[in-house]
């Protein structure tokens, strides 16, 4: 399977946006959970903050020559040797 940088970035953005929504829902509900779940809630919040930092950076690079470059053509993303 061959994939271009722009396709990879677009697919990653879609998945990270979905993850952001899921983590937002999870952290919103955490206020009503037992104290024993505080550690999980903190981990969700930290992951959400990380995703929120990464999303604008990926959106910005999507419009650059890095995303539109046609480098390493012939390299299979699922193969180590090609």
DSSP, collapsed to helix, strand or coil, labels residue 41 as helix
Alpha-carbon distances of 6 from 29, 35, 63, 75, rounded to whole Å: 35, 43, 9, 15
Mean pLDDT of the chain: 81
- Can you give the pLDDT at residue 8? 92
- Can you give the pLDDT at residue 68? 78
Q: Is residue 81 in a domain? A: no
Q: Is residue 44 in a domain? A: yes
Q: Is residue 11 in a domain? A: yes
Nearest alpha carbon to residue 59 among 14, 2, 27, 22: 14
Q: Is residue 71 in a domain? A: no
Domain of residue 51: give its range. Answer: 5-65
- The per-residue pLDDT for range 28-59, each reduced to its tens digit, is 765 556 666 788 888 999 999 999 999 999 99
Q: Is residue 75 in a domain? A: no
- The per-residue pLDDT for range 60-79, each reduced to its tens digit, is 998 888 877 765 555 555 66
Q: Is residue 58 in a domain? A: yes
Q: Is residue 29 in a domain? A: yes
DSSP, collapsed to helix, strand or coil, labels residue 76 as coil
Q: Is residue 27 in a domain? A: yes
Domain count, the chain: 1
């Amino acid at each position: 399977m061959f994939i271009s940088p722009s396709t990879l970035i677009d697919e990653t953005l879609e998945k990270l946006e979905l993850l952001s929504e899921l983590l937002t829902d999870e952290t919103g509900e955490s206020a009503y959970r037992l104290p024993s779940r505080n550690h999980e809630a903190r981990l969700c919040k930290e992951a959400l903050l990380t995703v929120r930092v990464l999303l604008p950076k990926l959106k910005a690079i999507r419009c650059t020559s890095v995303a539109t470059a046609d480098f390493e053509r012939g390299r299979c993303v699922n193969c180590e040797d090609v």
